[in-house]
Structure 1
Amino acid sequence: MRDMEAVCQEFFALPAEDKAGLYSEDAGKTTRIYSSTMFDTGAEKYWRDCLRLACSFPDVGDSPSGWPDKPQRLREVVERFTVQTRGLGMEVLRLLCEGLGLRPDYLEGDISGGDVVLHVNHYPPCPDPTATLGLPPHCDRNLLTLLLPSMVRGLEVAYQGDWIKVDPVPGAFVVNFGCQLEVVTNGVLKSIEHRVMTNLGVARTTVATFIMPTTDCLIGPAAEFLSDDNPPAYRTMTFGEFKRIYSVVKLGSSLNLTTNLKDVQKEL
């Protein structure tokens, strides 16, 4: 974890010319640097630079062909971090299955078998933190997210109509349930809305590791969570279809815009 923190900070400290070739606003590129956010938010921009990296499994070593070649140790550190973090995420999923009364491997296979995507988020000091956010309110649209947080506070979660600051714990990940866990469990596990605040004086760098379904994985409420008294609350669709719908949802500062996944699915 400490190696990953250090190498990511080293990357963003590189001269601009060393990173310029990676910059792209093309959301289809698996490796790129970009600003703003992945959501369609009109002309509004956010105070963040992001290095996006994708790793295929189990052949992680085949992934880095387009990755940055500076710092020199970046590829080695990211590969090792990704394998270990994905392993931790799969163990969390197995424990969730045990707690829900499901077989331990219930969330293995296509629903967790897509590329592992890393977002290395860098939030430079912001001259006016009241004017913009680091990231807008949103729920993660994947299955599970493990966030390696900075010791600089910035993450907030929605709770009972208010925003609660998340205090980072040294040596620990922040675990977010993604929208697909909410769908599969028919709302038993909720994807929590969160946002990132900016900071006037200190830069903040975090690493989000997303465990993703495959694009063509068909996801809907599982039979184990349905009954005559508890019918399906979400539509069944492929993960690719869900991403297309979720990408066009307009986000803002309201707590009510993203918390109801059922309303998001009505955009079909």
Structure 2
Amino acid sequence: MQVVNHGVPQQLLQDMEAVCDEFYDLPAAAKAHLYSEDRQKPNRLFSGTTYETGGHKYWMDCLRLAFSFPVGDSTAGWPDKPQRLREVFEKFAVLTRGVGMELLRLLCEALGLRPDYFDGDLSGGDVILSINRYPPCPNPSAALGLPPHCDRNLITLLHTGPVHGLEVLHDDDWIKVEPVPDAFVVNFGLQLEVVTNGMLKSVEHRVTTNAALARTSRAIFIQPKEDCLVGPAEEFVGEDNPPCYRTVTFGDFRRKHSVVKLGSSLNLTTNLKDIQKDIR
């Protein structure tokens, strides 16, 4: 997990924050048609009560939107209220994805991979824009915003805003991530861990709640296509360094990973190999 400067204009970030607040401030009736527990729907609004983790409930709401790249008409199913939502969301999503792709190219340079290694199918799946809202919680000690988890995609860029909440696991302790104005927190996803044969680890993280303040975060998830085979790159395997992970399609991995039940302190990083073993 890293914090980086970026090429997304400050004004756009401010517009994005404002539109997100405007959306969540809409009357419930204006958002009711978006609400769905169907995980197959590309665009939906849902709450923490539908986040399946062994019966636990989480204190959050999420507007989850998908788009292809190039965008084309793939945002046609996005909400049309407030009035400027689609325009601002699309600008933010496209520019943030561009930052993510540039980071992947820089990683290739540092790791000795060809510059375009992550272009094409490895990053060609639908891009996910997730707007998470964590309302003030009456008892923060009794409810998390999101459970401990590792992102299952390739790379995530998260704009957090000024309110604390994000924590990462380090040496069995939860460490608060300090909000940095006009910057993104970057999470390496589990697919990046697989490609690098474990050289880069996906960091386990969670979100805590706040008794006084609402917190909103905006995340872009870059992921492979469903039928893309993901496995260790040949540059990271050899006689003295055998493959640590199986080569499987992202769709198969995602379907298996989605049914993993998370515990209060489960570290998915250490269990990634076990998850892969169960994929047929």
TM-score higher than 0.5: yes
1:45 aligns with 2:57: yes
Shift of 1:176: 0.3
Aligned to 2:76, what secondary structure does the other structure show?
helix
Does the alignment pair 1:18 with 2:30?
yes
Aligned to 2:146: 135
Query: What is the SS of the residue equivalent to 2:22?
Result: helix
C-alpha distance in 1 between matches for 2:205 and 2:267: 12
3-state DSSP class of the match of 1:130? helix
* Superposition map of 1:79-158 within 5 A: 79-158=90-169
Partner amino acid for 2:237? L
Give TM-score scaled by structure 2 length: 0.93
Aligned partner of 2:238 in structure 1 is 227
Gaps of 5+ in 2: 1-12
TM-score, length of structure 1 as denominator length: 0.97
**2:55 matched to 1:34?**
no
Q: Give structure 1 stretches of 5+ with no counterpart.
A: none
- Stretch of structure 1 that moved more, 257-266 or 11-20: 257-266
Note the C-alpha offset of 1:82: 1.0
Q: 1:62 maps to what in 2? A: 73
Q: Which residue of 1 aligns with 2:17?
A: 5
Task: Assess, with a 3 A threshold, how the Cα gap between structure 1 residues 198 and 259 changes in structure 2: closer, same or farther.
Answer: farther
Code of the aligned partner of 2:135: P
5 Å-filtered alignment, 1:185-196, equals: 185-196=196-207
Q: 1-side partners of 2:49 and 2:156: how far apart?
A: 17
Amino acid at match of 1:177: F
Contact 1:32 1:51 in 2 (8 A): yes
Shift of 1:9: 1.0
CA pair 222-39 structure 1, distance change in 2 beyond 3 A: farther
Equivalenced residues, count: 267
Give yes or no for contact 1:112–1:211 (8 Å, CA) kept in 2: yes
1:27–1:38 CA contact under 8 A, matched in 2: no
Shift of the 64–257 alpha-carbon distance from structure 1 to 2, 3 Å rule, reads: closer
Paired-residue identity, %: 70
What's the counterpart of residue 6 of structure 2? none
Q: What's the RMSD between the two structures over aligned residues? A: 1.3
Cα deviation per residue 1:178-210 (whole Å; 9 max; x = unaligned)? 000000000001000000001101000001100
Contact 1:258 1:264 in 2 (8 A): no
Letter in 1 for 2:236: F
Query: 2:7: which partner in 1?
Result: none
**Change over 3 Å in CA distance of 1:39–1:181 after alignment to 2:** farther
User: Structure 1 residues 44, 14: CA separation in 2 closer, same or farther (over 3 Å shift)?
Assistant: same
8 Å CA contact retained: 1:55, 1:115 = yes
SS of corresponding position for 1:64: coil
1:39 is displaced (CA, Å) by 5.4
CA deviations over 1:79-116 (Å, ceiling 9, x no partner): 11111001100000000000001111111110001111
Return the offset for 1:37. Answer: 7.2
Task: Please state how far the C-alpha of 1:257 moved relative to its aligned partner.
Answer: 4.8
Query: What secondary structure does 1:118 align onto?
Result: strand
